[in-house]
């Protein structure tokens, strides 16, 4: 029996899941889980990469203790964030995408190259935290001086395990720096921003074997978690997907990037898949609910929160994608500001959040059909949000589609699928 290990790290938690094929079906077992999250340091939001790496190794040890032989492993995380290197030393801190340091540089970047041109070249949606803007903030602050390497977070963790430095395609497409024409870093953008060219080598595709860690082959999966999640969805035909976690990513597979005016205006993104393009939109996601829970009722379970929301008669909704919800010091205050103080009890806040998310999904799916020129019957929902029966019902009502909720670890399944094909 060949056992593979998927290390799937999200913004709020990480998990180690062992997978193997048995009687033609993928079997999985979670062997380790740990908490993750940003921390505030000297006025900035940062990631604790030392702890992340320690947890990665602890989980590998747990997998080896449970299963005699692990053939391979791979790591996926969220996109956009990266680690700068000077030789073999990390440059700290490692900033988190929700940190506000990029706000002052967006206009400076667009002076060097207008967003319309950036979008034409990359098809990458505008988010003020895209790696492009983070790197420009590093440039003007002097942080890029003397830098010899730049690794996205999963690449960094794999390097720490096996010593190989690579840049993986699906994660690179979240940076706002990859050409839709070549599938490589866009030289025109790099030159316009005056970024050190040596930091952006040729990209590697999922399935590459990098080296070994304690006798385990280290493989490149689709290291952007959404790319692995889409690979892990047992979908009939090509229907839209909703990866519902800290972020909600709603999209569909396309044969080529869509970079026309309607896509730019709607802020749709084109990101790398395993042999296809992912045409999708970022929606604020369960971040809203998780932050409200921490602030209003940290002791309540999600079942109780959903029950309170269902019992509320609140009919107020907000734009769940409004910038004010990205990284507020108080999520309650952000909702109060957006609703004019109309929310009166705990259930009302959560009802507003869930209904607003469903409405965003409905609007996004309508745009998706217009922009692709296709009509769809189903919406596949995976991730933590797939377990929320009430949110799924609200989503079905808002989209008018049959919602197929799959409360599976789709990201881990996609991660494992790529590994198994690589180490046959």
Task: Please list the active-site residues.
Answer: 225
Q: Can you tell me the distance from the alpha carbon of 175 to that of 259, in angstroms, rounded to the nearest whole number?
A: 16
Name the 3-class secondary structure at 398.
helix
Burial class (CB in 10 A: 0-12, 13-18, 19+), 237: exposed
255 close to 277: Cβ distance less than 8 angstroms = yes
**Residue 26: strand pairing partners:** 21
| Long-range CB contact pairs, 135-142, < 8 A, 24+ | 135/193, 135/195, 136/102, 136/105, 136/108, 136/109, 136/193, 137/101, 137/102, 137/104, 137/105, 138/84, 139/193, 139/194, 139/195, 140/105, 140/108
Are β-strands 25-35 and 94-95 bridged in parallel, bridged antiparallel, or unpaired? Answer: unpaired
Give the CA distances from residue 223 to residues 274, 358, 400, in Å, rounded to whole numbers and listed in that order.
11, 28, 32
Rounded Cα distance between 276 and 307, Å, is: 40
Both structure tokens of 224:
């952007």
Q: Distance between CA 222 and CA 351 in Å, rounded?
A: 35
396, 402 in Cβ contact below 8 A? Answer: yes
The rounded distance, in Å, linking the Cα atoms of 369 and 376 is 7
Euclidean distance between CA atoms 176 and 371, whole angstroms: 21
Determine contact, residues 70/63, Cβ cutoff 8 Å.
Answer: yes
CA 294/CA 390 separation, integer angstroms: 21
Backbone angles phi, psi at 208, to 5 degrees: -75, 135
Distance CA 305, CA 347 (A): 7
Phi, psi of 131 (to 5 degrees): -55, -35
């Amino acid at each position: 029996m060949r056992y593979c290990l998927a290390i799937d790290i999200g913004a709020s938690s990480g998990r180690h899941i062992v997978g193997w094929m048995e009687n033609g079906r993928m079997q999985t077992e979670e062997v380790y889980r740990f908490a993750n999250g940003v921390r505030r340091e000297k006025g900035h939001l940062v990631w604790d990469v030392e702890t992340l790496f320690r947890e990665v190794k602890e989980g590998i040890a747990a997998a080896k203790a449970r299963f005699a032989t692990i053939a391979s492993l791979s790591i996926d995380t969220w996109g956009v964030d990266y680690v700068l290197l000077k030789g073999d030393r990390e440059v700290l801190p490692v900033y988190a995408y929700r940190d506000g340091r990029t706000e002052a540089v967006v206009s400076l970047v667009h002076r060097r190259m207008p967003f319309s041109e950036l979008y034409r070249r990359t098809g990458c949606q505008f988010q003020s935290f895209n790696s492009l803007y983070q790197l420009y903030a590093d440039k003007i602050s002097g942080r890029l001086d003397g830098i010899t390497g730049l690794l996205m977070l999963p690449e960094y963790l794999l390097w720490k395990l096996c010593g190989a430095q690579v840049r993986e395609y699906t994660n690179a497409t979240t940076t706002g720096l990859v050409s839709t024409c070549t599938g490589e870093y866009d030289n025109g953008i790099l030159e316009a921003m005056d970024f050190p060219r040596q930091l952006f080598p040729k990209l590697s595709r999922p399935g590459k074997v990098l080296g070994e860690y304690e006798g385990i082959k280290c493989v490149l999966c689709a290291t952007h978690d959404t790319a692995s999640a889409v690979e892990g969805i047992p979908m009939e035909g090509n229907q839209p997907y909703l990866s519902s976690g800290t972020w909600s990513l709603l999209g569909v597979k396309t044969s080529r990037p869509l970079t026309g005016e309607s896509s730019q205006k709607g802020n749709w993104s084109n990101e790398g898949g395993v042999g296809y393009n992912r045409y999708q939109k970022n929606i604020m996601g369960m971040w809203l609910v998780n932050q409200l829970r921490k602030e209003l009722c940290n002791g309540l379970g999600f079942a109780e929160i959903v029950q309170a929301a269902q019992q509320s008669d609140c009919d107020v909704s907000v734009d769940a994608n409004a910038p004010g919800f990205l990284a507020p010091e108080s999520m309650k205050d952000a909702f109060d500001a957006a609703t004019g103080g109309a929310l009166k009890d705990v259930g009302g806040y959560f009802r507003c959040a869930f209904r607003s998310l469903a409405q965003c999904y409905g609007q996004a799916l309508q745009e998706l059909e217009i922009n692709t020129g296709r009509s769809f019957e189903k919406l596949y929902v995976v991730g933590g949000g797939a377990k929320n029966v009430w949110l799924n019902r609200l989503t079905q009502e808002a989209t008018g589609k049959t919602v197929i909720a799959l409360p599976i670890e789709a990201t881990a399944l996609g991660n494992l699928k790529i590994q198994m094909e690589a180490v046959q």
